[in-house]
Amino acid sequence: MVFWKTLMDHAAHFVRDVRICGGETTFRGTRVLLRTVLADLADGASNPQILADFPSLTEEQVRAAIAFAAAAARDDMPVPAIIGSR
């Protein structure tokens, strides 16, 4: 499945380099910040809107950002208590 391939290979899509945007995580080969794209997606932007706003990105890179966020949430998200448990 493409989602899992993208999820497992996120390093191919992102880079942190102190010479680029002060070491913020960017999409490889661009100066587009990962956090900017994730914020736009959280605000309701669609993939086509993201691609129009950031023409240097590819559809695969936008999917990689979503997969990265999903993996980060899975790893860092606190587990809610089970209702009715003590």
Tell me the mean pLDDT in the region 51-71.
93
CA–CA separation, 86 vs 77, rounded Å? 21
**Domain annotation covers residue 55:** yes
Structural domains in the chain (count) = 1
- What pLDDT was estimated at residue 80? 62
| Structural domain contains residue 6 | no
Q: Is residue 19 part of a domain?
A: no
Write out the residue range of the structural domain in which residue 64 sits. Answer: 35-75
Q: Evaluate whether residue 21 is within a structural domain.
A: no
Tell whether the model's pLDDT for residue 76 goes beyond 50.
yes
pLDDT digits (tens, 9 = 90+) for 2-27: 544 544 577 789 999 999 999 999 99
What average pLDDT does this structure show over 48-70?
A: 94
For the segment 48-76, the average pLDDT, to the nearest whole number, is 91
Contact 32, 15 (CB under 8 A): no
